[in-house]
Amino acid sequence: MNAFWATGFARTSIPDLVKATGLLRGSLYATFKDKDAMFEQALNRYLDQLRTDIISEATGIEGIAEMLQAVVEITLADPERRGCLLINAIPEVPDLDDANRAAINKGLEEMKAFVRFKLEEEPDERKVAPDLERLTALVFAASVSIRVLGRARQDRKLLQDVADGAVDALNQAFKKTP
């Protein structure tokens, strides 16, 4: 996972994977079949780790605020500022096999579904409910922005402003005061 995360799918060679895993070339192929299968497993492992890191028991906007804060902290805690493996792989989608394209899209859809679920938990007594699709897109874009800006080594203040701005927009949409 770390080898692909550091250099991407296309620039990670089999010798790089041999070095990263400590396995011989034959053992890599016997275990994973090919580089595509290795990358798919790396993506799945990354998504498992990400789920654990961002899941919040809090509901509604509070749960989204905790998730975005976790994204900020994960981003800043990485001394290499590698960004998100999933997002980093998007430009490589044309070069990936069907399984990896599906894994990337599944991961992105899962993130959006998590946000949508949290928004649906938020009570709203108003007669006209906010547009949950647009709010989901806003929060999703904020989380992606935090990871991309973090990879560009932007400072904590900007990353935090993106997270806080998204939460403020949610509070406005639901007419809540922070």
3-state secondary structure 30-94: HHHCCHHHHHHHHHHHHHHHHHHHHCCCCCHHHHHHHHHHHHHHHHHHCCCCCCCHHHHHHHHHH
> What separation in angstroms does the CA of 169 have from each of 11, 72, 139, 155, 163?
39, 18, 9, 22, 10
pLDDT (mean) for 99-111: 94
Q: How far apart are CA 148 and CA 159, in angstroms?
A: 10
Q: Of 47, 166, 32, give the one whose Cα is nearest residue 105.
A: 47
Is the pLDDT at 177 greater than 60? The verdict is no
- Cβ count near 65 (within 10 Å): 22
pLDDT average, residue stretch 109-138: 89
Q: H/E element holding 176?
A: none
Q: Most distant CA pair in the chain: distance in Å?
A: 64
pLDDT digit string, tens, across residues 7-56? 999 999 999 999 998 888 888 888 888 999 999 999 999 999 999 999 88
What percent of the chain has a predicted confidence (pLDDT) above 70? Answer: 96
pLDDT digits (tens, 9 = 90+) for 49-87: 999 999 889 999 999 999 999 999 999 999 999 999 999
Q: Which tokens in the block code for residue 155?
A: 């400072």
**For the chain, percent of residues with pLDDT exceeding 90:** 81
Which superfamily does 2-173 belong to? Tetracycline Repressor, domain 2 (1.10.357.10)
pLDDT at 178 over 90: no
pLDDT of 124 strictly over 70: yes
User: Residue 56: what pLDDT?
Assistant: 86
Average of pLDDT values for 134-161?
Answer: 97
In the predicted model, what is the mean pLDDT of residues 141-154? 97
How many CA atoms are closer than 13 Å to the CA of 31, on its beta-carbon side?
13
Q: Which pLDDT does position 127 carry in this prediction? A: 64
- φ, ψ of residue 44 to 5 degrees: the values are -65, -40
Residue with tokens 């070339």: 25
The answer to whether 112 and 140 have CB atoms below 8 angstroms apart is: yes
Mean pLDDT is lowest, of 57-71, 82-96, 121-135, for 121-135
